[in-house]
Amino acid sequence: MASVLKPEGMNEAQTLALYVHWPFCVSKCPYCDFNSHVRDTVDQEAWRSALLQDLAHEASLLPGRELTSIFFGGGTPSLMPPETVAAVIDAATSHWSSSGDLEVTMEANPNSAEAARFADLAKAGVNRISLGLQRFDDASLAFLGRAHSGDEGLAALSAAQSVVDRVSFDLITALPGDDEEAWMTTLGRALSLGTEHLSLYQLTIEPGTRFETMVRKGDFTPLDEDMAARLFEITQEMTETAGLPAYEISNHARPGAESRHNLIYWRYQEYAGIGPGAHGRRLGQRTMRHRKPENFLKAVERNAHGLVEEAALTREEAANEALVMGLRLAEGIDVAALEKRFGQIVDHDRVRRLIGQRLLDQQGTRLRLTGRGRLLLDAILVEIAA
């Protein structure tokens, strides 16, 4: 029988991150497999109350923590009324003490109506905006089903930079027809726009999305894997030269500008998740909320929380998750520290073999991917997991 991971004893110095999921969007992008929903109307008062009740439930289980980050994700959380955002931030910092430099991130779309709200969201307590630009040219944006134009995207970026000091934006590479020259032009433009953090994702055809249906019908063909790999290499070279190296497979930042919230995920630390479909990891458990907005509201009304799953992690599950998350980081993992927590986490003979093949590098007890290894992350994880 698999052993169950027991939570370690808590103390007042333990830290915590909070994820808040807002499930609503104006429209559903064809590549998106996130928990997002289009609704004609949203009862804002009911949603504010439900989120605060869900938050209070998590806080009751996690006393004495120091809150280091809040992340509003979605969906499109920049559609949230600033009053709701402020209420959630105020409640969270009432339930828990907070660090002096609490990071409060909001994902946002760049259409004009949302950009006009950035100043109000900043007044509500948001101090970091993550903007879904995706591309700069209108043809690519239309292919991706985005509701904004290239000009709107740049205007939204300027608006965000005018109200908060920390702005990141997303770009998607490896679209059909992309080549080295086109991507170098796009990435060069991105690097010239004055942000200290970029999230650069390759287009993935996810199951259940409209893009999967289109590919199956032959409406378009995904980019060749060799070209996608070459664009990944170009991305590493250009961002490194510009002073925004990859600190995670898809995320690049100037030193000190990394997303503190996401580092908590990748370093396998604890976080609470509230809102429809939100995941959490706390007290040796994984948690998940009801995905469908209406089901979430009913659950909160019934139980004063939106939980649909609360399951103890086995040591094997936790070890595997910590390995998968940690090797995404440029800093890699401290094998000795993780094995002290979870028992054996890697097959050491296979690790030595991949070090010999220059796919992994080990300095002391710290294990990380090489540049070549980043291209083969999934295969390496399967190979070395204990």
What is d(CA 155, CA 112) in angstroms, rounded to the nearest whole number? 8
Residue 370: Cβ within 10 Å count: 15
How do residues 7-64 score in pLDDT, each as one tens digit? Answer: 443 343 489 999 999 998 877 677 666 667 777 788 999 999 999 999 999 999 999 9
Domains belonging to the chain, first-starting first, are: 15-266 (3.20.20.70), 316-384 (1.10.10.920)
pLDDT band at 68 (very low <50, low <70, confident <90, very high): very high
- Output b/e per residue, 246-272; b: 16+ Cβ within 10 A: bbbbbbbbeeebbbbbbbbbbebbbbb
Mean pLDDT of 315-332: 95
The answer to whether the beta carbons of residues 18 and 192 sit under 8 Å apart is no
Supply 116's token pair: 């006009």
Residues, the chain: 386
Q: How far apart are CA 205 and CA 252, in angstroms?
A: 23
Instruction: Find residue 272's DSSP bridge partners.
Output: 18
pLDDT digits (tens, 9 = 90+) for 200-246: 999 999 998 899 999 999 999 999 999 999 999 999 999 999 999 99
Query: In the predicted model, what is the mean pLDDT of residues 303-326?
Result: 95
Instruction: Please give the pLDDT value at position 310.
Output: 97
Closest CA to 305 of 36, 38, 61, 95: 61
Q: At 4, is the pLDDT very low, low, confident or very high (cuts 50, 70, 90)?
A: very low
pLDDT band of 114, cuts 50, 70, 90: confident
Confidence of residue 66 (pLDDT cuts 50, 70, 90): very high
pLDDT of residue 42: 84
- Does the pTM surpass 0.85? The reply is yes
Mean pLDDT of 360-364: 96
Residue-wise pLDDT tens digits, 238-270: 999 999 999 999 999 999 999 999 999 999 999
Over residues 69-82, the pLDDT tens digits come to 999 998 888 889 99
Cα–Cα distance, 241 to 255 (Å, whole number): 13
- What pLDDT is stored for residue 246 in this prediction? 97
Instruction: Give the CA distances from residue 156 to residues 42, 110, 131, 227, in Å, rounded to whole numbers and listed in that order.
Output: 24, 5, 8, 31
Inter-helix orientation angle 44-61/82-95, to 10° = 20
The confidence score (pLDDT) of residue 33 equals 61
For residue 369, pLDDT over 80 is answered with yes
